[in-house]
């Protein structure tokens, strides 16, 4: 069976495609429209990067984890993956925090990484509508000042990795940073592992991976039916709602919009990243946590960036409280991650 037909039958036709874009940007056959991946034409290749890079195609994750993190000296926690440290952080710049998701840690770190030369370009998602964060698209950013225009989330999954593939093929940037959900982080990990010996698409030019915590993504058309919004946020489960600017949408109206593919994902914290960022969850409650992020450091390079961001005042750090409070926060994060994994494995 040729590579495209196999990928189409096993991933697209079964409804488990995440629309990450890993199969796109390398050939003219794979495309995406309104959150759906499709193939224009067939090809005669029995093996191809589209199949090898897809996060929904089978892979030995233990071997992949060992190859990418085995020599980095980090701990492997079953619920969280490679792990060095957990912090509560936010952007020191209030302008970043005003427009970003929660504390703006991701925006601040990517902007800082570009400014300090940790990366020379960044693959991000950006709103395609001037008035809101819905219908995002992938973009390549080289100026730190451009990063802030990509702040926020619509909880949709655009094919951002198509932009990465195009940038890698051009071979212009040698340290490309990538921001993405767990499925995208896994796809990038597969690229970095170079499974396709004939053409790895300059995978060594991937410099850092910035992972986003993710419970699920939303269907594009269904979300659009709820109306445009400049800012979208899913609150902790006890609130049972999604906020769209000043509007509150009951979660019962949102859950039917969850992409089917997301139900099969067992990774909440983007385990194949250098750094992973999500909304803060501590023992102090949402009134305190809503302006902060929790940040997992996984690699030595990620730790170096975070340490420098602390030293130069780019990030603010908040203590969990006493040792018991830090342990409780860690346990809460592990339970949430384990719960997502258990639900996926039942399907």
Say if residues 86 and 330 touch (Cβ distance below 8 Å).
yes
Residues 6+ apart with CB under 8 A from 176: 119, 120, 121, 122, 123, 164, 167, 168, 205, 206, 207
- Give the total residue count for the chain: 347
pLDDT of residue 322: 85
| CA distance linking residue 287 with residue 334, whole number of Å | 22
pLDDT band for position 277 (cuts 50, 70, 90)? very high
Residue 134 included in any domain: yes
Number of domains the chain is built from: 1
Answer whether residue 131 shows pLDDT above 70.
no
Residue 282 included in any domain: yes
pLDDT of residue 133: 53
Residue 14 included in any domain: no
Q: How far is CA 194 from CA 26, 201, 239, 300, in A?
A: 15, 9, 43, 21
Residue 339 included in any domain: yes
Residue 231 included in any domain: yes
Q: What does residue 242 show for φ and ψ, rounded to 5 degrees?
A: -115, 135
Q: Which two tokens stand for residue 108?
A: 């601040």
Q: The pTM is what? A: 0.95
| CA distance linking residue 156 with residue 138, whole number of Å | 12
Tens of pLDDT along 63-99?
Answer: 999 999 998 889 999 999 999 999 999 999 999 999 8
Structural domain that includes position 308: 61-346
pLDDT of residue 237: 86
Answer whether residue 102 shows pLDDT above 60.
yes
- DSSP one-letter code for 10: I
Residue 44 included in any domain: no
Q: How far is CA 169 from CA 26, 139, 158, 194, 201, in A?
A: 8, 15, 20, 14, 6
Residue 47 included in any domain: no
Tens of pLDDT along 278-331?
Answer: 999 888 888 899 999 999 999 999 999 999 999 999 999 999 988 899 999 999
Q: Mean pLDDT across the stretch 150-161? A: 91
Answer whether residue 129 shows pLDDT above 90.
no
**N- to C-terminal Cα distance for the chain?**
27
Q: Report which of 298, 58, 79, 77 is spatially closest to residue 190, judged by C-alpha positions.
A: 58
Q: Count Cβ neighbours within 10 Å for each residue of 258-278 and write b for 16 or more, e otherwise.
A: bbebbebbbbbbbbbbbbbbb
Residue 3 included in any domain: no
What does the angle CA 179 – CA 182 – CA 184 come to, to the nearest 5 degrees?
A: 55
């Amino acid at each position: 069976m040729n590579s495209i037909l196999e990928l189409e039958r096993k991933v697209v036709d079964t409804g488990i495609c995440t629309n990450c874009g890993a199969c796109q940007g390398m050939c003219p056959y794979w495309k995406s429209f309104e959150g759906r991946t499709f193939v224009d034409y067939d090809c005669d290749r029995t093996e191809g990067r589209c199949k090898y890079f897809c996060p929904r195609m089978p892979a030995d994750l233990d071997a992949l984890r060992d190859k990418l993190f085995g020599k980095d000296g980090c701990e492997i926690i079953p619920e969280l993956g490679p792990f060095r440290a957990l912090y509560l952080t936010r952007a020191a710049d209030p302008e970043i925090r005003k427009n970003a998701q929660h504390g703006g840690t991701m925006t601040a770190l990517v902007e800082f990484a570009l400014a300090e030369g940790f990366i020379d370009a960044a693959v991000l998602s950006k709103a395609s509508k001037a008035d809101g964060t819905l219908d995002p698209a992938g973009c390549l950013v080289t100026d730190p000042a451009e990063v802030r225009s990509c702040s926020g989330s619509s909880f949709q999954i655009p094919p951002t990795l198509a932009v990465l593939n195009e940038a890698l093929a051009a071979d212009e940037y040698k340290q490309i940073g990538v921001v993405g959900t767990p499925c995208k982080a896994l796809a990038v990990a597969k690229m970095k592992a170079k499974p396709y010996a004939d053409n790895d698409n300059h995978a060594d030019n991937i410099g850092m991976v910035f992972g986003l915590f993710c419970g699920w993504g939303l269907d594009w058309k269904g979300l659009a039916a709820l109306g445009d919004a400049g800012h979208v946020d899913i609150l902790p489960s006890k609130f049972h709602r999604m906020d769209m600017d000043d509007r509150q949408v009951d979660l019962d109206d949102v859950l039917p919009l969850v992409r089917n593919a997301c139900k099969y994902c067992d990774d909440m914290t983007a385990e194949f990243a250098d750094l992973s960022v999500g909304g803060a969850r501590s023992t102090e409650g949402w009134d305190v946590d809503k302006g902060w992020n929790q940040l997992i450091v996984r690699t030595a390079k990620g730790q170096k960036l975070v340490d420098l961001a602390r030293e130069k005042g780019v990030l603010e750090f908040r203590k969990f409280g006493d040792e018991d409070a830090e342990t409780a926060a860690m346990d809460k994060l592990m339970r949430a991650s384990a719960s997502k994994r258990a639900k996926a494995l039942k399907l």
